[in-house]
Every structure is written in C-alpha cells, then in structure tokens.
Amino acid sequence: MKAAVMTEDREIKVMDMPEPEMAPDKIKVKIAYCGICGSELHVLDPDFAASRPAGPPRPAGPRIMGHEASGTVVEIGSEVKSKLKVGQKVAMNFRGYCGNCYYCQNQMEHYCENSVHNTGSYAEYAVYNDGAVYPLPEGVSLEVGALLEPVSVAVHAVDAANIKPGGTVAIFGAGPIGLLIQEVALIAGAAKLLVSEPVASRREMAKKLGATVVVDPLHEDLEAAAKKLTDGRGFDTVIDASGKIAVAKQALNIIDNCGTILWAAMYPQGAEIGVSPQYMYQKELTIRSIFVSPYCFTRALNLLPVLNLEPLISIKPLDKVNEAFHQLIKGEGIKVLLKP
C-alpha cells in the first residue's frame, strides 16, 4: 500500500509499505482522510528534533506517520466487542488504553502504563484497537470526521480552562487547535473572546468563527487591546495554542485576578517560562497544561455536527505531503487533510 513515512534520516517520503497486520482484537480501516497535526510539523523543526526527550527507541526503518484519520471499516477481528459493521464510516483515536492499570482506573487514561499506538494513518489502510474506532454521526462527512481527534483536544482544553458562561477568554494562536478551542469556548459560554495571531488569513478565520476582537501581535498592542475588551481587568482565561515560549509568557500580562492560564501546545524540551511566586500569590492564579484528550472523544463526536469545521479544511493528495508540510509551516492553510 502507499504510505507517507518518516525515514531514519527524519525525511518524509511516500513509498510502498506492507498493509498492517490484523489481529482478533483489531479493526482494519480503509483511510479516507488524515489531517496533518501541528505536532508532526516539529519533525522538520530543529529546535524540537534536537531536544526530543529520551524514551524507548523507535522501530528501525521507515515509520508511517499520521493519526487524525477517518475512513471506512473493512475488517473486524473475531474478538472485537464494538458493534461496528464492515462498510461503516468511522473516525479514530490513535491510542488504545488497557483500562486496568493504576492510571486508567484513576481517571487518567492518557497516562496508561500499557497504552498502544495504532498503526499510522498517512496510508491506505490502518489497524486500530477495539474501542478506538467511533461511528460517525449521520450527515457528518468523512472530511469533517477526520477532525475528531483535534476536536477532542479542544474539548479537553476547554475542560481544563475553567471557562464559565459570560466569561472572558484570550487565545494566542489561530492555527487548527486555537480555532477549535475558540469554537468550543464560545459554546461553553465565553462572552468576550480575543484571538492574537500574526497571520492575516487566520485572523480573518477567527473573526468569521465568532471572535470578538482579533489582534496582529506583530503590529498591534496586545495588552492595550486586552485591557480595552476587559475594562482594564484582564481575562478570566488565557490559552496559549501557539507553542512559542515568548508568546506563552505574555499570558501573565493579560490575566485577571483568580484567572486561569492554560498552555495548550507543545514546546521544546527544556524550555522554561519564569513565573514570580509573589505575582502568583498576589493574583491567586491557576496555571495548567494539557496532554492529548482523555475521555473526550464521545463529546467531540457529538460536536462534529455542531461546529463550523468545513472552512478550516483543505485537501491534498498523499503524494503532496512534503508540499503540504512546508505550506503549513509558512502559515498557509489551516487543517490540511491528506487523501491516500
């Protein structure tokens, strides 16, 4: 089958690969679309490549990439308990959890001690654990279905961000995750919402999707705009979805007393943000972070027909994967789906 892989030299190439092997407890899906995740763009970012944390060695040879996928069920293992059917349109979680370890049994499945990554989905076929495959709601296209996993991340972010009806929210970064968080935050009740984003087309999208104010942080005074929108107080919640350390630190300058700061991005290993304990004491702040999206897929599935997702999507054939990566790095496009 055709697949986009990362080689041992950290190059992305499209090549022929064996179809993934089935097992009695697995589900095989013919991939329709797979979104490019911002975390995968770091493959080409030397700051991230050089600071990758130590961990289990990667399997030798090329590794199929991709995890934000939708498709059609083509084979179901004999031990699968899900009520799926061959031919059913589905979207998938790229991780499988054991349900039995300490973390799974204490509401922290994302730290499962026995988690299994399903096979990569920049490919014609992928194999998933039972429980990681979700039937798409009626009327939801496979294109929109491919956004299930990033929507689940937005749900987890809003859960952690302490957003209350009538509250004020600022979001740094209007990439896919920032815009999805914006949409979910508005549904959760944010009444005034500022988005800071240097790319004009992404600011326009944030405004189209309901942002109260959009700011170009390279040419406008972010702090002045924040004070104006919040009557000088600062925001109840500030969320960084940019992944830039200097940007994430700006949250401290526009947060209100008793506010919540959420770092909702990946940052280079070893990078630090200095926070004054006295400042924390005076303002009684909460600073949180998120990692993947535990227990959020069912609610994200319910949101797929509700959110305005089509404007975020553009599609490229799988063999244009390198072109798509470089366009996204330059800020062109928002959520690019690869079609095998």
Q: What's the count of helices (H) and strands (E) in the chain, helices before strands?
A: 11, 18
Count Cβ atoms within 10 A of the Cβ of residue 253 and give its class: 0-12 exposed, 13-18 middle, 19 or more buried. Answer: exposed
- Residue reference for tokens 């002045």: 224
Tell me whether strands 168-172 and 192-196 are parallel, antiparallel or unpaired: parallel
39 is catalytic: yes
Nearest to 69 by CA among 137, 129, 145: 145
Q: Which alpha helices (DSSP H) does 75-198 contain, by range?
A: 142-145, 148-160, 176-188
R_g over Cα of the chain:
20
Which residue out of 39, 201, 276, 289 is catalytically annotated? 39
225 Rama class: left (phi>0) / alpha (psi -120 to 50) / beta: alpha
Token pair of 167 as six digits: 């509250």
Cα 99 from Cα 117, distance rounded (Å):
15
42 is catalytic: yes
Nearest to 174 by CA among 187, 163, 185: 185
3-state secondary structure of 298: helix
**Residues 331, 164: contact at Cβ < 8 Å?**
no
Cα 131 from chain centre: 20
Nearest to 336 by CA among 36, 55, 77: 36
Q: Which helix (H) or strand (E) holds 263?
A: strand 255-263
Q: Which helix (H) or strand (E) holds 48?
A: helix 46-50
Tell me which residues are annotated as active site.
39, 42
